[in-house]
């Protein structure tokens, strides 16, 4: 019996733990949303590009171009209007790195295949996981399989049988894998068969099908491997293969091809003459080859660098649809040959498009029309490359780092892959949206760390690849290289591709940069001192990037290794500095760099030695506490490693959760609530509210994209997120998240804290920038409040009232949000609107007046229960108005509000009397009596026309009556926070006199003409006309 009780106790404990652990889910975050910021003007790397014409009207010649765009890590985008606007259509899927797109033209744009996993395999490339298909033009997607094929380079659709497709499974970049090779489906993707496999190191890089004879297929197999410190392209497994049975079996080709180890082979078939083929073959003497007999024999045509450059990164080749001798080779620039591949001209130099090209679409009806996918988005030309225009609304920026300043509004800074560094205000004062023009470049090259100097805000430090640090003076625009150099007799310093630059959070004069040493400067980078020995493993076998590349060498500092990757200073003690290296060391100094301790040896045994340290986050609450993220994707391990130490790294605890996904880039501890953590991984943003014990993915507007950096603004309480695929995001005001705990998650209803709300009277200006302009929303400027619901409110009433705490008067109501989780609501700081006299025109003052700064109550009524809280509103920090001026404005606005409501009352009195008389007159037979009533109706009509416009007009001032005059002055008073002018007050007084005149006239009418009419009506035994009272009017809805 004792054992049974013990067993039951254990079961109950497990049930309790399990229930507790599952309390936080993506639904917990409710209506709390991230706000996309951009940039789109820089865009980002486009990896796939397909298009086709669709019917656009009744006439057969009316067409519109439908475009599908695949991105390096930002999903799939679609345009249905010739590239004017684009919409993300793949955001709900787990994989956002795109390798290829294939449209089946037999079904217009309904059937589209997407292979995930970018195949331009640079050092920072993201991951894929399978092949997807849509049958409803991208409205929904289905994962068809091949989840373990990390990268899919091509999906070749059979031109005559829609159920047959060949898939180029390139496979894993960082490790051996059996999930490589060519896959074939005969049932539309329901099942796949592997039809060609070489070995665990060799995948399929390209497949083409002869459009006239689909039994003839060609494929290139590629042996490749990337390590953290080296890339190798080529080997015995690489080669060109041919099939003559529609891809069921394959034979390796060698006739007239280069000897020795081959690297990547890129293929293209001439649509106008399918027996003509081209192949860019990487070898010791790489070149472009041509065949005119279906690939049986080949001839080398060119070995120009523009053609053979970086095949691991520039991996496509195209032939003009009408001329087999016109060949396009996208690489650094778009090269074109008009003589069958003998010579190439880079005709797009100076043509206005971004360098580094990865995809091309040639219009099959007009080959002068091209779409080009680059590291800077999509460009289009209608004159075959003489001029180009950018599609300006594809926010695909690949950020490495994010930062902020303390301007008002604060600026967001980011370093972008191959697009330099940029900055933008986080909101536009008075504007409706953040647009391309609001983003300004601050640096060049591949953008990484960027910091605005807190002591001298004219200075920005930014960095491009390999530790190239620059100091920029914003006022003059001058720039100065400030990177530290090696000492006399030393080898060149080792800087990571993405080297860190950090400014001290305590001493703004201190600036840090990491090579294999930690360097510190107190004079803006003019001089540096080393404050550490070599903090890496200093393994000389891992820092020889000159030898990287394989059969063709490639050295851009991307393979620099044994370097410092992350630096962070304790926010509590500037002498405590943490450093993480790309080869697994975690180093700490507690005396400003005099001595260092390597604490990586204390990591759990489950962490392999040399695992990359991607971020270090010292606690804001305890000097001895630190969080780190580790990641080992460069050895094929994509698990999430987040660890915590509370004893300066002497021991570590791993923060585990089934909800975590993707290798970890960054961890940030909240500045106010020590239990609130934010983690960025290759698969999205994750949040913990219990110090890392449990986690949930934040999916509200942030897809499963790489989150490379996170910053928390200490003044505005915003979380700023740098993604490597969709640019920057902001979660405005995380104060409600700070109020969450596991205990609160068990409550039915709980109010959550929000930051103080600041008034803003700024107004925007007219902008007509066109439909193709990128527009990111400004933050909501209302007074925000929040509450948590354990479950969705389904049954019964739920309402919200805003209350004047001094008078307990209900100022207005706000529609209740009833969803599960955090409910974030906004009050525009206006009272309820007055009643407005009915008119043929809109407007009329149908808006409440703006309240004064102060504290206001919130009352939520839910199923018979009441919950109360409050919000605080303060005046705009930039406001020039005194408290007395604000009070004067408020009192005037209240007066106008009452006048608008009063006009509505008088209008209702008049129309009620008129309409009742109009009914009664139908029964009055006596001509004299009928004439008396008719004249009274006419008098009432005439009086009412003085109040409201009786005709529907385009412009309000064409019939400027009391209602319209009052609405105009009420609006101008309410939109300006300062004291009304004498002219405005005079206008209000004059309108008040007009209103009083109307009232007096109506009094006279009622006591004279209407009284006579009532005598006539009473004689007919009908109810007399009753004057509408104020009490009765107030009950009218």
Residues 836-845 have pLDDT tens digits of: 998 877 778 8
> What pairing do the DSSP bridges indicate for beta strands 468-473 and 479-481?
antiparallel
Q: Tokens 């020995």 appear where?
A: 533
How many whole angstroms separate alpha carbon 606 and alpha carbon 472?
Answer: 44
The whole-angstrom distance between residue 821's C-alpha and the CA centroid of its chain comes to: 22
Question: Nearest Cα to 165, choosing from 178, 180, 177, 152?
Answer: 152
How many whole angstroms separate alpha carbon 188 and alpha carbon 606?
Answer: 42
How many whole angstroms separate alpha carbon 603 and alpha carbon 645?
Answer: 10
Q: How confident is the model at residue 956 (pLDDT cuts 50, 70, 90)?
A: very low
User: What order of strands is seen across the sheet that includes strand 529-530?
Assistant: 501-503, 511-514, 518-521, 529-530
What average pLDDT does the segment 127-144 reach?
A: 98
Question: Nearest Cα to 599, choosing from 648, 659, 672, 542?
Answer: 648
Strands (E), 247-356: 251-253, 265-269, 277-281, 287-291, 299-302, 318-319, 327-330, 334-337
How many whole angstroms separate alpha carbon 307 and alpha carbon 372?
Answer: 17
Which residues does 947 contact at the CB level (< 8 Å), separation at least 6?
837, 903, 906, 907, 910, 961, 962, 963, 998
Whether the predicted pLDDT of 992 surpasses 50? yes
Question: Nearest Cα to 279, choosing from 242, 333, 234, 316?
Answer: 316
Q: Measured at the alpha carbon of residue 905, what is the angle toward residues 901 and 906, in degrees to the nearest 5?
A: 120
Determine phi and psi for 916, rounding to 5 degrees. -70, -40
Q: How confident is the model at residue 769 (pLDDT cuts 50, 70, 90)?
A: confident
Whether the predicted pLDDT of 408 surpasses 70? yes
What average pLDDT does the segment 184-202 reach?
A: 99
The tens digit of pLDDT for each residue in 574-631 reads: 999 999 999 999 999 999 999 999 999 999 999 999 999 999 999 999 999 999 999 9
Percent of the chain with pLDDT over 70: 96
For the record, the structure tokens of 912 come out as: 């009620």
Total-model pTM: 0.95
Q: What is the DSSP track for 64-75? A: EEEEEEEESSS-
**For residue 406, how many other CB atoms are within 10 A of its CB?**
13
Whether the predicted pLDDT of 195 surpasses 90? yes
Which residues does 305 contact at the CB level (< 8 Å), separation at least 6?
none
How many whole angstroms separate alpha carbon 278 and alpha carbon 300?
Answer: 10
Q: How confident is the model at residue 922 (pLDDT cuts 50, 70, 90)?
A: confident
Whether the predicted pLDDT of 315 surpasses 60? yes
Question: Nearest Cα to 100, choosing from 114, 86, 84?
Answer: 114
Query: How many angstroms separate the Cα of 802 from the Cα of each of 37, 783, 893?
Result: 31, 11, 19
The tens digit of pLDDT for each residue in 691-706 reads: 999 999 999 999 999 9
The verdict on whether omega for the bond into residue 39 sits within 30 degrees of 0, i.e. cis, is yes
Maximal CA-CA distance, the chain: 121
- Residue 9, pLDDT score: 43
How many whole angstroms separate alpha carbon 603 and alpha carbon 780?
Answer: 44
How many whole angstroms separate alpha carbon 322 and alpha carbon 917?
Answer: 81
Question: Nearest Cα to 907, choosing from 844, 981, 815, 974?
Answer: 844
For the record, the structure tokens of 791 come out as: 């479950």
Whether the predicted pLDDT of 346 surpasses 80? no
Helix (H) or strand (E) holding 63: strand 63-71
How many whole angstroms separate alpha carbon 191 and alpha carbon 475?
Answer: 62
The answer to whether 763 and 430 are in contact (CB under 8 A) is yes
Whether the predicted pLDDT of 91 surpasses 70? yes
How many whole angstroms separate alpha carbon 439 and alpha carbon 306?
Answer: 32
Whether the predicted pLDDT of 547 surpasses 60? yes
Q: How confident is the model at residue 713 (pLDDT cuts 50, 70, 90)?
A: very high
**For residue 1029, how many other CB atoms are within 10 A of its CB?**
11
Whether the predicted pLDDT of 407 surpasses 80? yes
- Residue 461, pLDDT score: 99
Phi-psi region of 578 (alpha: psi -120 to 50; beta: other; left: phi over 0): beta
- Residue 1023, pLDDT score: 85
Whether the predicted pLDDT of 319 surpasses 70? yes
The tens digit of pLDDT for each residue in 784-794 reads: 999 999 999 99
What average pLDDT does the segment 716-743 reach?
A: 98
How many whole angstroms separate alpha carbon 842 and alpha carbon 21?
Answer: 54
Helix (H) or strand (E) holding 777: strand 775-777
What average pLDDT does the segment 850-854 reach?
A: 96
Q: At what angle do helices 927-945 and 883-920 cross, to 10 degrees?
A: 160
Determine the 3-state secondary structure of 278 from DSSP: strand
How many whole angstroms separate alpha carbon 45 and alpha carbon 97?
Answer: 11
How many whole angstroms separate alpha carbon 643 and alpha carbon 619?
Answer: 13
The whole-angstrom distance between residue 488's C-alpha and the CA centroid of its chain comes to: 47
Whether the predicted pLDDT of 875 surpasses 50? yes
For the chain, the helix, strand and coil percentages under 3-state DSSP, each to the nearest 5: 15, 35, 50
**Number of helices (H), then strands (E), in the chain:** 9, 67
How many whole angstroms separate alpha carbon 749 and alpha carbon 196?
Answer: 59
Q: Cα dihedral angle (860, 863, 866, 872), rounded to 10 degrees?
A: -10
Bridge partner list, 669: 677
What average pLDDT does the segment 641-663 reach?
A: 98
How high is the mean pLDDT of the chain?
94
How many whole angstroms separate alpha carbon 417 and alpha carbon 358?
Answer: 15
- Residue 11, pLDDT score: 44
Q: How confident is the model at residue 351 (pLDDT cuts 50, 70, 90)?
A: low
The verdict on whether omega for the bond into residue 409 sits within 30 degrees of 0, i.e. cis, is yes
How many whole angstroms separate alpha carbon 155 and alpha carbon 164?
Answer: 10
- Residue 274, pLDDT score: 98
For the record, the structure tokens of 968 come out as: 């105009």
How many whole angstroms separate alpha carbon 667 and alpha carbon 686?
Answer: 9
How many whole angstroms separate alpha carbon 291 and alpha carbon 293?
Answer: 6
**For residue 271, how many other CB atoms are within 10 A of its CB?**
18
Least confident of 45-59, 501-515, 591-605, 987-1001: 45-59
The tens digit of pLDDT for each residue in 476-516 reads: 999 999 999 999 999 999 999 999 999 999 999 999 999 99
Strands (E), 375-522: 377-381, 389-390, 399-404, 411-416, 420-425, 433-435, 440-441, 450-452, 459-464, 468-473, 479-481, 501-503, 511-514, 518-521
How many whole angstroms separate alpha carbon 798 and alpha carbon 783?
Answer: 20
How many whole angstroms separate alpha carbon 76 and alpha carbon 138?
Answer: 9
What average pLDDT does the segment 402-425 reach?
A: 98
The verdict on whether omega for the bond into residue 415 sits within 30 degrees of 0, i.e. cis, is no
How many whole angstroms separate alpha carbon 111 and alpha carbon 263?
Answer: 33
What average pLDDT does the segment 362-386 reach?
A: 97
Determine the 3-state secondary structure of 796 from DSSP: coil
Q: Measured at the alpha carbon of residue 639, what is the angle toward residues 633 and 642, in degrees to the nearest 5?
A: 105
Which of 511-542 are b and which e, b meaning 16 or more Cβ less than 10 Å from the residue's Cβ? bbbbbbbbbbbeebbeebebbbeebbbeeeeb
């Amino acid at each position: 019996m004792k054992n049974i009780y013990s067993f039951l106790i254990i079961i109950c404990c497990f049930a309790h733990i399990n229930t507790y652990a599952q309390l936080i889910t993506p639904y917990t975050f409710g209506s709390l949303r991230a706000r996309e910021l951009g940039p789109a003007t820089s865009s980002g790397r486009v990896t796939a590009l397909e298009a086709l014409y669709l019917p656009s009207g009744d006439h057969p010649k009316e067409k519109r171009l439908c475009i599908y765009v695949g991105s390096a890590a930002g999903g799939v985008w679609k345009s249905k209007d010739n590239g004017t606007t684009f919409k993300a259509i793949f955001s709900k899927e787990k994989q956002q790195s795109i390798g290829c797109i294939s449209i089946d033209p037999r079904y217009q744009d309904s059937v589209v295949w997407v292979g995930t996993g970018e195949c331009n395999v640079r050092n920072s490339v993201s991951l894929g996981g399978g092949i997807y298909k849509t049958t409803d033009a991208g409205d929904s997607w289905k994962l068809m399989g091949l989840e373990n094929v990390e990268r899919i380079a091509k999906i070749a659709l059979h031109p005559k049988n829609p159920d047959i497709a060949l898939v180029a499974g390139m496979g894993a970049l960082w490790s051996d894998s059996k999930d490589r090779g060519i896959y074939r489906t005969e049932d539309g993707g329901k099942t796949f068969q592997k039809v060609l496999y070489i070995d665990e190191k060799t995948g399929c890089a390209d497949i083409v099908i002869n459009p006239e004879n689909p039994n003839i297929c060609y494929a290139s197999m590629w042996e490749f491997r990337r390590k953290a410190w080296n890339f190798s392209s080529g080997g015995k497994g690489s080669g060109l293969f041919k099939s003559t049975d529609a891809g069921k079996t394959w034979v390796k080709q060698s006739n007239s091809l280069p000897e020795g180890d081959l690297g990547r082979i890129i293929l293209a078939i001439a649509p106008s003459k399918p027996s003509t083929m081209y192949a860019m073959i990487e070898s010791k003497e790489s070149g472009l080859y041509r065949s005119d007999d279906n690939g049986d024999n080949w001839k080398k045509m060119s070995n120009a660098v523009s053609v053979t450059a970086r095949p691991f990164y520039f991996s496509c080749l195209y032939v003009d649809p009408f001329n087999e001798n016109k060949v396009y080779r996208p690489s650094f620039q778009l090269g074109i040959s008009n003589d069958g591949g003998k010579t190439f001209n880079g005709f797009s130099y100076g043509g206005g498009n971004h360098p580094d090209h990865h995809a091309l679409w040639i219009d099959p009806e007009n080959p002068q029309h091209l779409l080009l996918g680059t590291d800077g988005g999509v460009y289009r030309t209608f004159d075959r490359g003489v001029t180009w225009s950018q599609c300006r609304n594809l926010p695909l920026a690949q950020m490495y780092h994010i930062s902020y300043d303390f301007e008002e509004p604060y600026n967001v800074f980011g370093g972008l892959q191959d697009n330099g560094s940029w900055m933008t205000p986080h909101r536009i004062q008075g504007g409706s949206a953040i647009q391309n023009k609001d983003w300004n470049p601050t640096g060049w090259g591949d953008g990484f760390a960027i910091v605005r100097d807190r002591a001298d805000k004219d200075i920005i430090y930014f960095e491009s690849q390999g530790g190239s640090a620059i100091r920029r003076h914003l006022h003059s625009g001058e720039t100065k290289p400030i990177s530290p150099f090696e000492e006399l007799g030393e080898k060149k310093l080792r800087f990571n591709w993405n080297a860190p630059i950090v400014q001290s959070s305590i001493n703004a004069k201190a600036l840090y940069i990491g090579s294999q040493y930690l360097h510190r400067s107190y004079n803006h980078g003019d001089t540096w001192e080393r404050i550490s020995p070599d903090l890496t493993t200093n393994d000389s076998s891992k820092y020889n990037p000159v030898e990287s590349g394989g059969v063709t060498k490639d050295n851009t500092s991307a393979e620099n290794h044994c370097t410092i990757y992350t630096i962070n200073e304790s926010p509590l003690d500037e002498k405590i500095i943490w450093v993480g290296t790309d080869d697994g060391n975690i180093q700490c100094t507690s005396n400003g760099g005099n001595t260092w301790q390597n604490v990586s040896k204390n990591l759990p045994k489950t962490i392999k030695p040399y695992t990359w340290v991607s971020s270090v986050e010292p606690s804001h609450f305890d000097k001895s506490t630190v969080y780190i993220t580790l990641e080992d994707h460069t050895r094929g391990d994509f698990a999430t490693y987040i660890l915590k130490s509370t004893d300066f790294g002497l021991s570590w605890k791993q923060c585990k959760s089934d909800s975590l996904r993707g290798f970890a880039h960054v961890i940030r501890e909240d500045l106010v609530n020590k239990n609130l953590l934010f983690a960025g991984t290759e698969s999205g943003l994750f949040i913990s509210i219990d110090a890392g014990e449990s986690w949930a993915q934040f999916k509200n507007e942030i897809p499963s994209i790489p989150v490379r950096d996170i910053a928390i603004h200490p003044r505005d309480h915003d979380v700023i997120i740098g993604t490597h695929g969709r640019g920057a995001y902001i979660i405005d005001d995380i104060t409600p998240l700070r109020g969450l705990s596991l205990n609160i998650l068990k409550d039915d209803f709980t109010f959550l804290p929000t930051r103080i709300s600041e008034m803003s009277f700024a107004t925007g200006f007219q902008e007509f920038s066109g439909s193709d302009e990128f527009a990111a929303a400004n933050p909501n400027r209302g007074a925000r409040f929040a509450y948590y619901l354990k479950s969705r409110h389904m049954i019964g009433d739920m309402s919200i009232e805003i209350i004047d705490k001094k008078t307990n008067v209900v100022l207005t109501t706000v529609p209740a949000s009833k969803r599960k989780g955090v409910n974030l609501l906004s009050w525009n700081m206006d009272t309820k609107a007055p009643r407005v006299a009915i008119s043929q025109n809109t407007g009329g003052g149908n808006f409440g007046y703006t309240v004064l700064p102060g504290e206001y109550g919130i009352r939520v009524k839910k199923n018979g229960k009441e919950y109360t809280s409050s919000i605080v509103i303060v005046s705009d920090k930039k406001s020039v108005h005194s408290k007395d001026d604000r009070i004067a404005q408020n009192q005037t606005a209240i007066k106008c509000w009452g006048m608008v409501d009063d006009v509505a009352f008088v209008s209702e009195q008049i129309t009620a009397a008129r309409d009742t008389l109009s009914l009664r007159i139908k029964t009055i037979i006596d001509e004299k009596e009928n004439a008396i009533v008719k004249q009274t109706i006419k008098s009432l009509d005439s009086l009412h026309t003085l109040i409201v416009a009786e005709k529907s007009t385009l412009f309000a001032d064409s019939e400027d009556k009391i209602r319209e005059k009052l609405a105009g002055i009420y609006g101008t008073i309410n939109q300006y926070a300062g004291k009304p002018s004498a002219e405005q007050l005079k206008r209000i007084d004059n309108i008040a006199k007009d209103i009083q005149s109307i009232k007096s006239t109506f009094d006279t009418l009622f006591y004279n003409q209407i009284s006579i009419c009532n005598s006539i009506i009473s004689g007919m035994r009908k109810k007399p006309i009753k004057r509408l009272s104020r009490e009765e009017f107030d009950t009218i809805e």
